[in-house]
């Protein structure tokens, strides 16, 4: 029996978390009783974790975890490690802001035997011009540094087999801020069976986006240095990084 773990990082999402968790809990419930939705509260300052604990009372396949604030990338990696430690066969990641569509998961799941990784790309984003601009800049950076073209490297909608995820997160530091971006780079460069599928991306349903322009600039500066260091590491370890599964 294949066990799916859905990993969702959450920070100050008390206005969205109830609906998002219920929708994704319905997904794992349809897979089987062993599958789980794991929501990692990243040190929220609101009632996100309290709501998660309340939801656990009625949603048996929900696992709520809280930790000190470390940022989206560190929280995603935390969730990935947790899923693998609990013997997940497949790990799916999405975000807690309600911008993705649960119904679109099934095309990923139905195609899981044919690919090691299936990643959604946000074809028509509805989350503001600034976010679209950042995505375009990121695409240019990845081309300049890694010489690969990725339309949407940071998309929060990805299904991964346990073996390929385990292989590549072992090469990423636990506090790496753009963990999903670097994972996508690894997948595209070294993994043969990767598929990209267009997905919907709705406006934020409620709450406030925690990323502002100042944070974007800081993240961007650090990301350039981190990516350059990662490229040097990749160049030294090419044979070890190739995945044939």
Q: How far apart are CA 127 and CA 148, in angstroms?
A: 25
Q: How far apart are CA 189 and CA 111, in angstroms?
A: 21
DSSP string, 115-141: -SEEEEEEEEE-S-HHHHHHHHHHHHH
Kindly state the tokens that stand for 70. 């470390």
Quickly count: other Cβ atoms within 10 Å of residue 67's Cβ. 13
In sequence order, what are the residues at sequence separation of 6 or more whose Cβ sits closer than 8 angstroms to the Cβ of residue 89?
Answer: 2, 3, 4, 161, 162
Q: How far apart are CA 175 and CA 95, in angstroms?
A: 18
- List b or e across 13-25, with b for residues whose CB sees 16 or more CB atoms inside 10 angstroms: bbbbbeebbebbb
Query: What 3-state DSSP class applies to 198?
Result: strand
Q: Are strands 4-10 and 36-42 parallel, antiparallel or unpaired?
A: parallel
Q: Are strands 90-94 and 4-10 parallel, antiparallel or unpaired?
A: parallel
pLDDT in tens, 95-128: 999 999 999 999 999 999 999 999 999 877 666 6
Residue 217's pLDDT is 64
Mean of per-residue pLDDT scores for the chain: 92
Q: What is the pLDDT averaged over residues 44-59?
A: 98
CATH number (3.40.50.1360, 3.90.1170.50, 1.20.1560.10, 3.90.550.10) of 4-241 reads 3.90.550.10
pTM: 0.92
Residue 137's pLDDT is 86
| More confident: 11 or 201 | 11
H-only helix segments in the chain: 17-31, 48-56, 72-85, 105-110, 129-146, 162-169, 179-190, 213-236, 238-241
Q: In the chain, where are the structural domains located?
A: 4-241
pLDDT in tens, 71-103: 999 999 999 999 999 999 999 999 999 999 999
pLDDT in tens, 8-48: 999 999 999 999 999 999 999 999 999 999 999 999 999 99
């Amino acid at each position: 029996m294949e066990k799916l773990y859905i990993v969702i990082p959450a920070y100050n999402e008390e206005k969205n978390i109830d609906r998002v968790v219920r929708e994704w809990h319905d997904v794992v419930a349809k897979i089987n009783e062993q599958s789980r939705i794991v929501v990692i509260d990243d040190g929220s300052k609101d009632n996100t974790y309290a709501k998660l604990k309340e939801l656990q009372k009625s949603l048996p396949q929900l696992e709520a975890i809280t930790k000190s604030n470390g940022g989206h990338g560190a929280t995603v990696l935390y969730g990935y490690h947790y899923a693998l430690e609990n013997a997940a066969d497949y790990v799916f990641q999405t975000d807690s802001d309600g911008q993705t569509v649960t119904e679109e998961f099934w095309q990923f799941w139905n195609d899981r035997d044919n690919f090691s990784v299936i990643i959604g790309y946000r074809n028509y984003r509805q989350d503001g011009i600034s976010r679209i601009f950042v995505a375009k800049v990121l695409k240019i950076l990845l081309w300049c540094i890694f010489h690969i073209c990725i339309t949407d490297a940071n998309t929060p909608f990805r299904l991964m087999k346990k073996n390929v995820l385990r292989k590549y997160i072992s090469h990423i530091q636990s506090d790496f801020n753009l963990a999903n971006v670097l994972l996508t780079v690894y997948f595209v460069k070294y993994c043969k069976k990767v598929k990209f599928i267009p997905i919907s991306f709705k406006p934020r349903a409620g709450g406030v986006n925690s990323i502002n322009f100042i944070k974007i600039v800081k993240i961007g500066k650090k990301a350039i240095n981190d990516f350059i260091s990662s490229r040097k590491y990749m160049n030294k370890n090419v044979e070890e990084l190739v995945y044939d599964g």
